Amino acid sequence: MARDGDHPDDLVYDWNLSDLPARPSLPIGLDDETLRDGLQGPSVTDPPIEMKGRILRAMDALGIDTADVGLPGAGPKAVADSTALCRQIVEEKLSIRPNCAARTMARDIEPIARIASSTGLPVEACLFIGSSAIRQYAEDWSIDLLQQRTEESVRFAVREGLPVMYVTEDTCRAHPDTLRRLYRTAIDCGARRLCVTDTVGHATPHGAVQVVRFVARIVEESGAHVGIDWHGHRDRGLGLANTLAAIAAGATRVHGCALGIGERAGNTPMDLILVNLKLLGWIDRDLTGLGEYCRLVSEGCRVPIPSNYPVVGPDAFETGTGVHAAAVIKALRKNDPWLADRVYSGVPASDFGFRQTIRIGPMSGRSNVIFWMEQHGLEPKDEVVDRIFAAAKNSDRLLEEDEIRELAGPPKASAAGRPRSSGTRRRG
């Protein structure tokens, strides 16, 4: 963890960095799937194109490298939206680069080629096909058929001038011999990237490492310069851990969706990938726009952000607990924001555009009340502090600002010192 020059180096002993694999030698690419794979979530709303454009700008502001802007083979609306987003990248001179998903079929690839031609922008074709034995069994596919479709589709996309990422669905449950055969075919036909997918969220971090290392050996044996992507889901709650493990094992680009939206339990959250890569020192960029990015996706996709969601949730940097708040308050009284941001937080709020907030509730101490009043321009007279403190202790939740201000005023003759009855927590 980076330290301010005025602080001792040993204030935080970081076990996370003990025997950590060396920082990846290649830059870690980030591919945002929010506007395609993320929209497959059962509770997600497909935003209007104007909102998609705002989300795309927020991705660009965070330094995200590539964005999946749609699956044009799905129909005219998907073609129109994908085209509009690619045109926006050109017109606004955004740094982010587009890709589009496609089945291993010419009719899915053709509209991607037309979009690239009409916008003058290279559009990566992400060609996916099921690879696991269970999928083959359910679909009555043979390995020969999969190889044939792989060869035909990759060659067709390359002839159309499209950079190709070849994606094996359900990689983490596929047999090594199948993966070797399909990936080598894709490489030989001109694919520039291979994508390892945990389509059903089956993998553990150990499994993610094993499969990425296996694919890396296939690439090494081929002698080709081919990148390796990781695309994870979080059905077992391991999406983020698997993504970090995949990077350590050799993945050079990883996928995610804002707020973890996507099919079933969702995809790896892109926002938390960014947070953890920054905290590990694997990326160095301004992430103060993270809250805006998540807010736009929440609004556009109609996905509420849980109160306790890491970093961008309303509760992430708030505390009303006396012991915890006291440590933060002491740091703030030292005029030491660096210390206040870390003494009771594993994530420095200011690095991501937020700040530590002291609240007042049933677990608060008097110091919470005094500090809160000072911060809000109120004189912390003993009588007033006592009244607010008593109300907090008799409440079953944190007090809201309007309640505290009312308590800070002159007590009413009919109910002097009587705490307000508690109810549902409100947010200002």
Render pLDDT for 88-98 as a digit per residue (tens, 0 to 9). Answer: 999 999 999 99
Please check whether residues 64 and 100 belong to one and the same domain. Answer: yes
Task: Render pLDDT for 384-420 as a digit per residue (tens, 0 to 9).
Answer: 999 999 999 999 999 999 999 999 886 554 443 444 4
Residue 7 lies in a domain: no
Of 115, 126, 121, 117, whose CA–CA distance to 95 is shortest? 121
User: What is the C-alpha separation between 15 and 20, in angstroms, rounded?
Assistant: 9
Please check whether residues 226 and 267 belong to one and the same domain. Answer: yes
Position 320 scores a pLDDT of 85
Of 214, 97, 207, whose CA–CA distance to 163 is shortest? 97
Position 4 scores a pLDDT of 62
Q: State which of 266, 301, 336 marks the end of a domain.
A: 301
Position 16 scores a pLDDT of 82
Residue 346 lies in a domain: yes
Of 395, 342, 387, 343, whose CA–CA distance to 369 is shortest? 387
Position 5 scores a pLDDT of 61
In this prediction, the residues of the chain whose per-residue pLDDT falls under 50 are 1-2, 413-428
Task: Render pLDDT for 314-373 as a digit per residue (tens, 0 to 9).
Answer: 999 988 887 888 888 898 889 988 998 998 899 999 999 999 888 989 998 898 899 889
Please check whether residues 223 and 342 belong to one and the same domain. Answer: no
Amino acid at 265: A
Residue 16 lies in a domain: no
The tally of domains found in the chain comes to 2
Please check whether residues 231 and 376 belong to one and the same domain. Answer: no
Q: State which of 238, 267, 301 marks the end of a domain.
A: 301
Number of H helices, E strands in the chain: 15, 10
Q: State which of 241, 269, 301 marks the end of a domain.
A: 301
Please check whether residues 261 and 404 belong to one and the same domain. Answer: no
Q: How far is residue 267 from each of residues 32, 230, 272, measured CA to CA in Å?
A: 10, 11, 11
Asked whether 29 and 66 are in contact (CB, 8 A), the reply is: yes
Please check whether residues 224 and 287 belong to one and the same domain. Answer: yes
- Residue the block writes with tokens 């927020």: 58
Position 9 scores a pLDDT of 75
Helix (H) or strand (E) holding 185: helix 176-188
User: What is the C-alpha separation between 164 and 363, in angstroms, rounded?
Assistant: 56
Residue 295 lies in a domain: yes
Position 77 scores a pLDDT of 96
Please check whether residues 297 and 393 belong to one and the same domain. Answer: no
User: What is the C-alpha separation between 226 and 73, in angstroms, rounded?
Assistant: 26
CATH number at residue 34: 3.20.20.70
Please check whether residues 294 and 322 belong to one and the same domain. Answer: no
Please check whether residues 87 and 208 belong to one and the same domain. Answer: yes
Position 303 scores a pLDDT of 97
Please check whether residues 386 and 271 belong to one and the same domain. Answer: no
Task: Render pLDDT for 71-84 as a digit per residue (tens, 0 to 9).
Answer: 999 999 999 999 99
Domain holding 140, by residue range, is: 26-301
- Residue the block writes with tokens 């929010």: 34
Position 410 scores a pLDDT of 67
Residue 52 lies in a domain: yes
Asked whether 88 and 94 are in contact (CB, 8 A), the reply is: yes
Position 416 scores a pLDDT of 38
| Backbone CA torsion sign across 187, 226, 257, 113 | negative
- Residue the block writes with tokens 């009587």: 418
Residue 10 lies in a domain: no
Please check whether residues 71 and 164 belong to one and the same domain. Answer: yes
Please check whether residues 297 and 323 belong to one and the same domain. Answer: no
In DSSP terms, which residues pair with 198 in a beta bridge? 232
